[in-house]
Structure 1
Amino acid sequence: MPTHYQAASDPNHFAQRFGIAFNPNGAIVRPGEQGLFVRRPRADGPTTGSVVRYQIAPGRWGLIPLFSKDGLDANTFEARGESAASERNFYQPWKRGHRCVVLADSLFQAGESDGTTVRVSRVDGQPLALAGLWNGWRSPSGECVESFALLTFALPGHPERRRTAILRDAWIDDWLQCPVEETAAYLRPYADDKLLRRALPADAAA
Structure 2
Amino acid sequence: MPTHYQAASDPGPFARRFGISFQPQSSLVQPGQQGHFVRRPRADASSKAQLERFEVAPGRWGLIPLFSKDGQEQDTFEAQSETAAAERNFYQPWKRGHRCVILADALFQRGEEPGSVVRVSRSDGEPLALAGLWNGWRAPNGDCVESFALLTFCLPERPEQRRSAILRDAWVDDWLHCPVEETAAYLRPYADDKLVREILPR
TM-score between both structures, scaled by the size of structure 2: 0.97
Which residue number corresponds to residue 51 of structure 1?
51
SS in 2 for 1:84: coil
Which residue number corresponds to residue 167 of structure 2?
167
| Number of aligned positions between the proteins | 202
Which residue number corresponds to residue 185 of structure 1?
185
Q: How does 1:83-98 map to 2 (within 5 A)?
A: 83-98=83-98
Report if aligned partners of 1:115, 1:201 keep a CA contact under 8 Å in 2. no
Deviation per CA, 1:43-74: give whole Å up to 9, x if none.
01123277211000000000000000000000
Report if aligned partners of 2:100, 2:132 keep a CA contact under 8 Å in 1. yes
Identity across the alignment (%):
73
1-structure distance, mates of 2:12, 2:132: 21
| Structure 1: tracts of 5 or more residues without a match | none
Structure 1 residues 180 and 2: CA distance shift in structure 2, 3 A: closer
1-structure distance, mates of 2:41, 2:154: 30
SS in 1 for 2:53: coil
Report if aligned partners of 2:138, 2:144 keep a CA contact under 8 Å in 1. yes
2-structure distance, mates of 1:186, 1:49: 26
TM-score between both structures, scaled by the size of structure 1: 0.96
Q: How does 1:1-206 map to 2 (within 5 A)?
A: 3-48=3-48, 51-202=51-202
Name whichever of 94-103 and 19-28 sits farther off: 19-28
Name whichever of 123-132 and 46-55 sits farther off: 46-55
| Cα shift at 1:2 | 5.3
Structure 2 residue identity aligned to 1:30: Q
| Structure 2: tracts of 5 or more residues without a match | none
2-structure distance, mates of 1:20, 1:162: 31
C-alpha RMSD over aligned residues: 1.2
Report if aligned partners of 1:36, 1:59 keep a CA contact under 8 Å in 2. yes
Structure 1 residue identity aligned to 2:193: D
SS in 1 for 2:48: coil
| Cα shift at 1:26 | 1.5
2-structure distance, mates of 1:139, 1:78: 22
2-structure distance, mates of 1:49, 1:130: 23
Report if aligned partners of 1:37, 1:101 keep a CA contact under 8 Å in 2. yes
